[in-house]
Amino acid sequence: MAAAKFKVWRGDANTAGFVDYEAEVSEGMVVLDAVHQIQAEQANDLAVRWNCKAGKCGSCSAEVNGHPKLMCMTRLDDLPLEKPVTIEPVRAFSHVKDLVTDVSWNYQVKKKIKKFNPKPPDFEDGTWKMQQEDIDRVQEFRKCIECFLCQDVCHVLRDHHLHDNFIGPRHYVYTAALEMHPLDTENRLGDLKETDGIGYCNITKCCTKVCPEHITITDNAIIPLKERVVDQFYDPVRKLLRILKPKK
Amino acid sequence: MAQYEKHEYDVLVIGAGGAGLRAAIEASAEGVSVGLVCKSLLGKAHTVMAEGGIAAALANVDERDGWKVHFADTMRGGQYLNNWRMAELHAKEAPDRVRELEAWGALFDRTVDGRILQRNFGGHQFPRLAHVGDRTGLEMIRTLQDHGIHQGVDVHMECTVVALTKDEGRVSGAFGYEREKGRFKMFSAKAIVLATGGVGRAFKITSNSWEYTGDGHVLAYHAGADLIDMEFVQFHPTGMVWPSSVRGILVTEGVRGEGGILTNSEGRRFMFDDIPELYRSQTADNEEEGWRYTQGDRNARRPPELLTRDHVARCIVREVQEGRGSPHGGVFLDIAWIQEKMANSAAHIRRKLPSMYHQFKELAGIDITAEPMEVGPTTHYAMGGVRVDPDSQMTCVPGLFAAGECGAGLHGANRLGGNSLSDLLVFGKRAGEYAARFVKENGAVVLDEGQIEAISNWALKPLESQTGDSNDNPYQIQYGLQEMMQELVGIARSEEGLNDALSNIANLRHRSENVIAIGNREYNAGWHTALDLHNLMTCAEAIALAALERKASIGAHSRDDYPDKEEPNTKKYNTIVRKGADGEMQILREEIPEVRTDLQEIIEEIG
Ligand SMILES: Cc1cc2nc3c(=O)[nH]c(=O)nc-3n(C[C@H](O)[C@H](O)[C@H](O)COP(=O)(O)OP(=O)(O)OC[C@H]3O[C@@H](n4cnc5c(N)ncnc54)[C@H](O)[C@@H]3O)c2cc1C
Ligand code: SF4
Ligand code: SF4
Ligand code: FES
pLDDT at B172 over 50: yes
Same domain, A95 and A108: no
Mean pLDDT of chain A: 94
- pLDDT given at position B467: 72
Q: Phi and psi of B464, rounded to 5°?
A: -65, -50
Which of A101, A135, A165 is at the close of a domain? A101
Same domain, A43 and A121: no
Chain B: closest CA distance from residue A184 (Å): 8
**For residues B531-537, average pLDDT:** 97
Given the residues B236, B311, B380, B509, the one annotated as active site: B236
Distance (Å, whole) CA A141 – CA A149: 15
CB contact under 8 A, A51 and B40: yes
Same domain, A49 and A164: no
**pLDDT band at residue A13 using 50, 70 and 90 as cut-offs:** confident
Same domain, A64 and A163: no
Angle between helix A168-179 and A132-141 (nearest 10): 160
**For residues A84-91, average pLDDT:** 97
Give DSSP secondary structure letters for B257-316.
HTT-EEE-TT---GGGG---GGGGGGB-SSHHHHHHHHTT-TTSPBPGGGS-HHHHHHHH
- pLDDT given at position B245: 86
Which long-range CB contacts under 8 A does B171-175 form with residues at least 24 apart? B171/B223, B171/B397, B171/B398, B171/B399, B171/B400, B171/B445, B172/B399, B172/B445, B172/B446, B172/B447, B172/B448, B173/B12, B173/B445, B173/B447, B174/B12, B174/B14, B174/B37, B174/B219, B175/B4, B175/B452, B175/B455, B175/B456, B175/B459
The verdict on whether B256 is a catalytic residue reads yes
**For residues B531-557, average pLDDT:** 97
b/e B74-83 (16+ beta carbons within 10 angstroms → b):
bbbbbbbbbb
- pLDDT given at position A247: 47
CB of A170 within 8 Å of any CB in chain B? Answer: no
Determine which residue's CA is closest to atom 5 belonging to ligand 2: A154
Contact B476, A40 (CB under 8 A): yes
pLDDT in tens, B277-297: 989 999 999 999 999 999 989
Same domain, A161 and A235: yes
Instruction: Check residue A119 and report its DSSP letter.
Output: P
pLDDT in tens, B46-74: 999 999 999 999 999 999 999 999 999 99
pLDDT in tens, B367-376: 999 999 999 9
CB contact under 8 A, A56 and B138: yes
Distance (Å, whole) CA B219 – CA B162: 8
Give DSSP secondary structure letters for B212-233.
-S-HHHHHHHHHT--EE-TT-E
Q: Report how many domains make up chain A.
A: 2
- pLDDT given at position A1: 62
**pLDDT band at residue B469 using 50, 70 and 90 as cut-offs:** low
Nearest to B107 among A41, A53, A139 (CB): A139
Give domain status of residue B61, yes or no: no
Q: Chain B interface, mutation test: which of A1, A31, A53, most B Cβ atoms within 10 Å?
A: A53
Mean pLDDT of chain B: 96
Angle between helix A223-234 and A168-179 (nearest 10): 70
**B576 CA to centre of ligand 3 in angstroms:** 45
Q: CA–CA distance from A239 to each of A179, A229, A233, B555 (Å)? A: 16, 10, 8, 62
CA dihedral B12→B17→B19→B25, nearest 10 degrees, is 60
Distance (Å, whole) CA B7 – CA B186: 6
pTM of the model: 0.96
Domain that holds residue B296: 235-376
ipTM over 0.90: yes
Same domain, A33 and A122: no
CB contact under 8 A, B519 and A128: no
Same domain, A26 and A137: no
Q: Report how many domains make up chain B.
A: 1
Same domain, A119 and A53: no
Domain containing B260 — which CATH number? Answer: 3.90.700.10
Same domain, A31 and A119: no
- pLDDT given at position B466: 76
- pLDDT given at position B472: 80
Which of A73, A101, A129 is at the close of a domain? A101
Give domain status of residue B546, yes or no: no
Give domain status of residue B246, yes or no: yes
Domain that holds residue A89: 2-101
**For residues B523-529, average pLDDT:** 97
Which of A39, A73, A101 is at the close of a domain? A101
pLDDT in tens, A14-25: 899 999 999 999
Same domain, A112 and A96: no
Domain containing A47 — which CATH number? Answer: 3.10.20.30
Same domain, A113 and A217: yes
**For residues B580-591, average pLDDT:** 97
The verdict on whether B236 is a catalytic residue reads yes
CB of A95 within 8 Å of any CB in chain B? Answer: no
Domain containing A138 — which CATH number? Answer: 1.10.1060.10
**For residues A200-228, average pLDDT:** 97
**pLDDT band at residue B398 using 50, 70 and 90 as cut-offs:** very high
Give domain status of residue B306, yes or no: yes
Q: Which ligand lies nearest the alpha carbon of B535?
A: 1
Residue B189 exposure: Cα atoms within 13 Å on the Cβ side = 32
Chain A: closest CA distance from residue B565 (Å): 35
Same domain, A219 and A240: yes
Distance (Å, whole) CA B579 – CA B581: 7
- pLDDT given at position A243: 63
Give domain status of residue B315, yes or no: yes
